[in-house]
Amino acid sequence: MLKAVKAIFLFTVMSVSGQSAWADNYSDTIEAFRGAGESSGYFGKSYAYAVFPTIGKGGIGIGGAYGEGRVYVGGQHVGNSTMAQVTVGLQLGGQAFSQIIFLEDERSFREFTSGHFEFSAEATAVAITAGVSAKANTGGGVTAGASGGRNNATNVHGGYRKGMAIFTIARGGLMYEATLGGQKFNYTPL
């Protein structure tokens, strides 16, 4: 199943690669989130964060997403993480986005880095580089946000929720979906 998710990721990245003008590297992505309004304040008050420069997502009925990231504590790279997601439901298209997960304290860091961590169901609509999303979060609540352009971040949890705050920046693509499926993370320490 992971091979299918990676194939969807590669297809998505190739289909939207011409729509994004900024680099995929970690430092550029971190700087984009530092300059993206609401997310910038979390760098100084979080115990740790995980950053994923590019997550590719695509599907036709059955879909998936995949991205590789790094985990930082105190600004130091301490491990690597992968995100995979398989979705089933009404969906069509592909998109690419950057994601950062701020971990409020050592407890949330241990939970995220325990090996296999999973977020809950989501519903998302992204058009080109502007995104609007509504997500059912780990606490059972639902929040919404909008982002337009590459330097606007959306915190889909409205602050820390169970010790985590998540922001995304749309990079490109067009996808219609009404799906159920959680993001699953694996962590490997350095």
- Residue pointed to by tokens 């304040």: 41
Query: What are residue 121's phi and psi, to 5 degrees?
Result: -65, 155
Average pLDDT, rounded, for the chain: 72
Instruction: Check residue 176 and give its pLDDT.
Output: 63
Instruction: Check residue 179 and give its pLDDT.
Output: 54
Instruction: Check residue 171 and give its pLDDT.
Output: 81
Query: What whole-number distance in Å separates Cα of residue 177 and Cα of residue 116?
Result: 26
Written as one string, the DSSP assignment of 48-65 is EEEEEEEEEEEEEEEEEE
Residue of 3 and 182 predicted with greater confidence? 182
Percent of the chain at pLDDT exceeding 90: 31
Q: How many residues does the chain have?
A: 190
Pairing of β 164-180 and β 154-155: antiparallel
Tens digit of each residue's pLDDT (9 = 90 or more) over 121-133: 543 322 223 333 4
Residue of 187 and 17 predicted with greater confidence? 187
Q: Is 96 helix (H, G, I), strand (E, B) or coil?
A: strand
Instruction: Check residue 6 and give its pLDDT.
Output: 53
What one-letter code names the amino acid at 21? A
User: Going along 74-110, which residue ranges are E strands?
Assistant: 76-103
pLDDT at 80 over 50: yes
Q: What domain range is 123 assigned to?
A: 2-189
Residue 163 contacts residue 49 (beta carbons within 8 Å): no
Say how many domains are in the chain. 1
Instruction: Check residue 190 and give its pLDDT.
Output: 95
For the whole model, what pTM was predicted?
Answer: 0.71
Query: What whole-number distance in Å separates Cα of residue 116 and Cα of residue 36?
Result: 29
Query: What whole-number distance in Å separates Cα of residue 125 and Cα of residue 145?
Result: 11
pLDDT at 141 over 60: no
Pairing of β 122-127 and β 164-180: antiparallel
Instruction: Check residue 19 and give its pLDDT.
Output: 39
pLDDT at 33 over 70: yes
Residue of 71 and 164 predicted with greater confidence? 71
